[in-house]
Structure 1
């Protein structure tokens, strides 16, 4: 399926004048009580707050008669976002999913966006147990996601940290989703040092009571946009992402706590276990970026091998020249990326792609 992409030369104008007004007319906002799961400690005080989500109804969107909309309802897509991300960042991708006939549901993970926080410094991301991310996403998909799918396929789209969480959900809830796209998933984070050493350091720092402190070299969000940090990306896209963060203090998470690093590495160890990979029944399309500095490629390759060896249906597509956020790249990269995602969701078998 072909979708007309937003003109990069008029990106900010098209987002403000066309995309955001249309999304506002089919958008619903809500808050979900965090999941309860065996082995997870009760959440005290401020931490007991709810998780924020936004949903977009395909039928209401079609009623707007936007140019390019299919008018054919195909189900719903649940989005699992990445580290320090937030709902509004996915507005363009949500627009394309709606044009293609999918309702869209996105819950801001714990410690992100407008969801409940567990630390006083809102720029810092902390989690006590990675299983909590997984339980919350599974609950959200199994309730709100299923409601918006309305008996049609329920698909998953994950990016980065959200991909690591999504992989664990696919292992623990093998019949929840019909199809899953893992875009540069955090099967293992890139910590800047060998991950075995990062694991030791994180365990030590948490063991001496510094689990809620920012890791070395990371700190609060700064409003200055630095184009040199996004060489090769679509500058209008990444500048718009940055401006969204500047406009909303809740979207300015910017650093990892040592406990988050410890939990990310524990998540990585768990999702790569062959026995866990064998549980996956959902067909998966995994995208890999050759210029990724945030997650590691080799563990993604091992994950694909383990899923295949376990009898799973998975395909890897590599964009060798892409940065970590493939959806932030120029249109000549975004177009084949998006086309393959939509073809995968619509296909009866992954092998037909």
Structure 2
């Protein structure tokens, strides 16, 4: 697979990738569990596809950030489905503050993914094998989903998965306790300490990417579109992230996973617990860890040399 190089990245994305995908993109909304909350999704369908890939983005991201990866998967012969997760992008929000990432129960994330994979994708591409690609928070959701609903996906790629979030040196159990108290006090939709509304002062140097071109391409969209400016977690989100982590790392739950799982681990990781990734991988018999030296949390926004390794490893895994 030829990757889009940093040398002419923006030019090729705007003149080649985006117009190509636009021809194949269908977008719309679905309402899981017959509810009122609308979840935005995109699908990229093609004739003679070899399989379906459902993509789940990470904390404070959107489907728009994954245009390059969508392009690779589609070019490799897969149908692609991706949604803006609940509380992100163009999907339903539980509050007016577009910067706040908020959720009442992490099971809502699982329900949304279930609907995307078993209702939307299955209705349009019935009979094709289904695979999962998920990053960070999406990787945690993907891991929990594979335990909760093991028969849906034949394989999963978890990129820097949030098996356990990092909480600034405070043990997760204590952080969860604090969050529980704040939720009981009616402050569940309040920013946790250290988190705040989007200010537009992010820089590549402090980012989770190692490719300035890839970073700036999405950062520009984020600066100009308020729906892409999700930025900080609520106390309720923190409580649910801790609950989800406990669920994922339960040894019995890990034993329920039957599909093959590929776990990518960034060397310079500042957002999620690498030790928890290793525990999870060790407890899932069908899982394999792929360390990625020289990368940061957003491995899919790495420099060209690492992107080649990353994309080829993923496509080889899916082929096998």
TM-score class normalised by the smaller sequence:
over 0.9
TM-score by length of 2: 0.96
How far apart are the structure 2 equivalents of 1:35 and 1:304? Answer: 31
How far apart are the structure 1 equivalents of 2:227 and 2:306? Answer: 30
Which of 198, 201, 204 is matched with 2:181 structurally? Answer: 204
Name the structure 2 match of 1:187: 163
On the 8 A contact 1:191/1:198 being kept in 2, the answer is yes
Secondary structure, aligned partner of 2:290: strand
Name the structure 1 match of 2:93: 117
Paired residues in the alignment total: 319
TM-score by length of 1: 0.87
Q: Deviations over 1:176-235 (max 9, x none)?
A: 011110111110011112212212221222222211101112212123441221386100
Shift of 1:148: 4.6
Shift of 1:116: 0.5
How far apart are the structure 1 equivalents of 2:4 and 2:240? Answer: 37
Name the structure 2 match of 1:336: 309
The worse-fitting range, judged by mean Cα deviation, of 216-225 and 162-171 is 216-225
How far apart are the structure 1 equivalents of 2:98 and 2:202? Answer: 20
Q: Deviations over 1:299-325 (max 9, x none)?
A: 1111112112xxxx1111111321001
Which of 315, 321, 343 is matched with 2:294 structurally? Answer: 321
Name the structure 1 match of 2:29: 31
Name the structure 2 match of 1:67: none
Distance 1:265 1:51, change over 3 A: same
Say if 2:276 is the partner of 1:299. Answer: yes
Name the structure 2 match of 1:56: 44
Secondary structure, aligned partner of 1:176: coil
Matches within 5 A, 1:7-22: 7-22=5-20
On the 8 A contact 2:209/2:298 being kept in 1, the answer is no
Distance 1:231 1:53, change over 3 A: closer
Give the ranges of 4+ consecutive aligned residues of structure 1 lying more than 3 Å apart after TM superposition: 147-150
- List alignment gaps of at least 5 residues for structure 2: none
How far apart are the structure 2 equivalents of 1:316 and 1:146? Answer: 29
Shift of 1:150: 4.0
On the 8 A contact 1:76/1:148 being kept in 2, the answer is no
Shift of 1:292: 1.0
Say if 2:213 is the partner of 1:213. Answer: no
Shift of 1:55: 0.7
Q: Deviations over 1:2-27 (max 9, x none)?
A: x1111201111111111111111000
What RMSD over aligned residues (CA atoms) do the two structures have, in Å? 1.4
Secondary structure, aligned partner of 1:287: strand
